[in-house]
Structure 1
């Protein structure tokens, strides 16, 4: 399989979304909030609400960009909205 074929795998999307979600949270929370703290917040929220962390990260990125989530991510979008909508607006 070529590199191009790997670009759109679920794992690759989740890794990209995790990076984006960490950036979103660190920007929103300010300079004193580290990427490690942002990851811990994502992980804690994921575990508390029993939502896949990659799906949650994608939902947070979609929420920040104002994009509607794919059908399979509705639960993750609801959790992301409850957790971070007020922080983003």
Structure 2
């Protein structure tokens, strides 16, 4: 099914829903279709403009291994040269 087919199916379903909600009036199919198309387009537009969810603080930072974390916290002491 193509995206155009999917859109048409969604419009068809929405138009039918509108028709049922209005008590199944005769002769209103074109108005229902246009309303359904507007509803589907508005729904699609809201999906496009929706901002992605925020990540937890520090979620994108790679965690260091315990050994690397320990060495990052404590600087190593310089080794003393032995006297000979």
TM-score by length of structure 2 reads 0.41
Instruction: State the structure with more CA Rg.
Output: 2
TM-score by length of structure 1 reads 0.39
Greater length-normalized contact order (CA 8 Å, ≥ 6 residues apart): 1
Higher normalized helix content (fraction of residues): 1
